[in-house]
Structure 1
Amino acid sequence: MHTGSFVDTQDVAEDYKAFLAHTAKRIKELRRARGLKLRDMVVVHGYHDSNLIRMEREGVGSVQGLLRIAKAFGVPITTLTAGVGDHFAEP
């Protein structure tokens, strides 16, 4: 919720949690849609098992991570973030 010209940091924290959950879901969907197993991502794209498992459970928390995942899947970064923020109310 916006209060004057200030942004409520609790709202931002909740939005960030929603963003992470959304990207986690999209990563898993994209991997499965391509018929890839976690091991395939490790071998083909050089991810460590635990990193990819964490991304699929918790989401990607950096722009660099999003770019790397988007590149691995051959999709624009907007594919990973499409729909994020649709629930935000207008200020």
Structure 2
Amino acid sequence: MVNESNPFKDYTNHLAETLQEKNDAYGDSFSKSLDEDGLLVLKIRLGDKLNRVSSLIKKDELKENDESLEDTLLDLAGYSILGLKYLKEHENE
């Protein structure tokens, strides 16, 4: 069902649900990685996803193996949100 008053909500709600499900399944592994290895982890994760986007576009494929362009874009948004959450939680350090 498309949210006609704000079509972006469909995507952000789906992203929030996905992030919560993964956090429940894996714990806060992203924050733990940042605690151990620093913000470079965020750059690496986002870089990996951007490389995947580039690869899919260059091959003119919307899906490779089990990861689609749509999934990859969602992952980019997710890692960005996780990065924002981490920064907010550690802003006074």
Give the TM-score of the pair, scaled to structure 1.
0.36
- Greater RCO, CA 8 A, separation 6+: 1
